[in-house]
Amino acid sequence: MKDGVLFVNKDEGKTSREVVNEISKIYKTKKVGHTGTLDPMATGVLIICLGKYTKLVNLLTSYEKEYVATMKLGIKTDTKDRTGNILKQEKVSVTKEQIENVFQNFPRKYLQEVPKYSAVKVKGKKLYEYARENKEVELPKRQVEIFSLKILDMQKDRITFQTKVSKGTYIRSLIEDIASRLSTVAVMESLQRISQGNVNIKDCLTLKEINQNTPLKQLDGLFSYPIYEITEFEKRKVENGNKLILNTQEETIFLSFQKQIIAIYQKKEDFYQMIFKVV
**Catalytic residue positions?**
39
d(CA 230, CA 166): 33
Query: What crossing angle do the helices spanning 96-105 and 171-181 adopt, rounded to 10°?
Result: 120
Which 8-state DSSP code applies to residue 221? T
d(CA 137, CA 127): 8
Residue 12's beta-bridge partner residues? none
CA dihedral 16, 17, 22, 26 (to 10 degrees): 100
d(CA 200, CA 220): 14
Cα torsion 83, 12, 162, 198: sign: positive
213 class by beta-carbon count within 10 Å (0-12 exposed, 13-18 middle, 19+ buried): exposed
C-alpha distances (whole Å) from 218 to each of 7, 13, 52, 223, 236 are 11, 29, 11, 10, 23
Residue 148's beta-bridge partner residues? 164
DSSP per residue over 95-163, as a string?
-HHHHHHHHHHS-SEEEEEPPSSSS-EETTEEHHHHHHTT---PPPEEEEEEEEEEEEEEETTEEEEEE
Instruction: With beta carbons less than 8 A apart as the criterion, state whether 254 and 225 touch.
Output: yes
